[in-house]
Amino acid sequence: MNEIVFKKTLSPEIKLYKIRAPLIAKKRQAGQFVIVRLEELGERVPLTIADSDPEEGTITLVVQEVGATTRKMGTYREGDGFLDVVGPLGRPTEVKKYGTVVCVGGGVGNAVVFPIAKAMKAAGNRVISIIGARTKDLLVLEDEARQVSDQLYVTTDDGSYGEHGFVTDRLAKLLQQEQDVRLVVAIGPAIMMKAVCDLTRNFDIHTIVSLNSIMVDGTGMCGACRVEVGGQTKFVCVDGPEFDGHQVNFELLMARLRMYLPEEKKAMDAWMSRDPVGPSVAEHTSAGEDDGR
C-alpha cells in the first residue's frame, strides 16, 4: 500500500497526488513512469512520474480523469493509498546539454513534460516551454513550468487564457524566430504530438515524444504497448516511452489507443450509475485507461 500524503485538485478533471514510495523517489529519473493498481480488483494503469522528493520519500503523479479507474482514483483522499505502485519503469530521458530546447506540453502532458524541462534546465540548456490546454480550467502546472523555463508561452484552444490557438501555432512562430533550437520535446495527446512532429520535420529539428500506449505489466512481458517506430515494432514500456517522433507511426498508435473504447464505456457507465456510498463499492469499474494524455 502506497499512501497518498498530499492531494491537490489542479482542474476539475486533473488531480495531483504525492504518493509515499521512498525507493522509487530515490531512483527515478525524468521521463520514467510507474504502474499503479488502485485495489484488489483493479487494472494496472501507467502514469508518468511528474516529480519526486527523495528526502520526503514521495513521488508526484498528475492524473487526468478519463475513465472509471482514474475517476475512482479521484475519490481517494490524503491518508488513503494505492494498493500497488511499481517502478520506475521505462528508459529515462536522455538529458544532456543540447543548447536551446523547446518543451511542448498539451493537456495533462504538461505534467509529463515538466520533469523533462526541469532536467534539461538543470543540465544547462536554454529551455523554452509552450504549454497548452483546451481551455483555461484545464491548464495545469503553469507556475512549475515557468520556474524551469527561460521563456514560457501559454495557449488555449478557445482563447480563454494566454494565446488563442494550438501549441503548434505558437511553435511554428517560434521556430521561425529561433534559429538554434537543437531539440523539441513534445508530450500530449497523440494528435498533438503528431502535429508537432509534422511541423518540426520541415525544420529538420530532432523531436522527442513520449508515448502513452496501453500497457499491462510494463516490463516487456506482454507487448500490449507495441508501436511502430521507423518501420520496426517497439515496446513502449522497455524501449521507450520516448522515441524519435519523426519515426513514430502515429496512426497506428491512435488506432491502438481506441482498442478498448467499448469496454471503457461499459466501465464508465457502471461507475456513473454506481451506488453513491463511496469508493469501496465493488461494482465500480474501469477499463484499459492510460494517463489520459
Partner 1 sequence: MADKKKLNLQRESMRRQDPAVRASNFEEVALGYDQEQALREAGRCLTCKKPRCVAGCPVEVDIPGFIACLQKGDVLEAARVIKRTNSLPAICGRVCPQEDQCEKACILAKKGAPIAIGRLERFVADEEARQASPETSPKAPPGGRRVAIVGAGPSGLTAAGDLIKLGYRVTIFEALHEPGGVLMYGIPQFRLPKEIVRREVEYIESLGVELKTSFVVGMLQTVDELMAGGYDAVFLGNGAGLPYFMGVPGENLNGVYSANEFLTRSNLMKAYRFPEYKTPIKIGRRVVVVGGGNVAMDSLRTALRLGAEQVTCVYRRSRNEMPARGEEIENAEEEGIDFQLLTNPVRILGDDQGWVKGMECIRMELGEPDASGRRRPVPVEGSEFTIDVDQVIVAIGQGANPLVASTTEGLETNKWGYIVADLETGATSKPGVYAGGDIVTGAATVILAMGAGRKAAQAIDEYLRGLDR
- Specify the residue, 166 or 271, whose C-beta has the smaller distance to partner 1: 271
- Alpha-carbon distance of 204 to 196, in angstroms, equals 12
**222 belongs to the binding site for partner 1 (CB under 8 A):** yes
The SS3 assignment for 249 reads: coil
**What single DSSP character describes residue 117?**
H
Distance CA 135, CA 50 (A): 21
Residue type, 77: R
Query: What is the secondary structure of 74-89 as a DSSP string?
Result: HT--TT-EESEEEEEE
Q: Least distance (Å) from partner 1 to the CB of residue 144?
A: 26
Stretch that binds partner 1, among 54-62, 147-155, 158-166, 283-291 (CB under 8 A): 283-291
3-class DSSP assignment, residue 265:
helix
266 binds partner 1, rule: CB under 8 A: yes
Q: Nearer to partner 1 by C-beta: 122 or 222?
A: 222
Considering the complex, state which of residue 185 and residue 267 has its C-beta at the smaller distance from partner 1.
Answer: 267
Based on the shown chain and the rule CB under 8 A, indicate whether residue 282 belongs to the binding site for partner 1.
yes
Of 115, 3, 98, nearest to 62 by C-alpha is: 115
- C-alpha to C-alpha distance for 166 and 134, rounded to whole angstroms: 8
Applying the rule CB under 8 A, the residues between 57 and 76 that interact with partner 1 are 68-69
Give the footprint of partner 1 on this chain (CB under 8 A): 23-24, 27, 37, 41-44, 68-69, 83-89, 216-217, 219-224, 226-228, 233, 235, 238, 251-252, 255-256, 258-260, 263-264, 266-267, 270, 282-283, 285-288
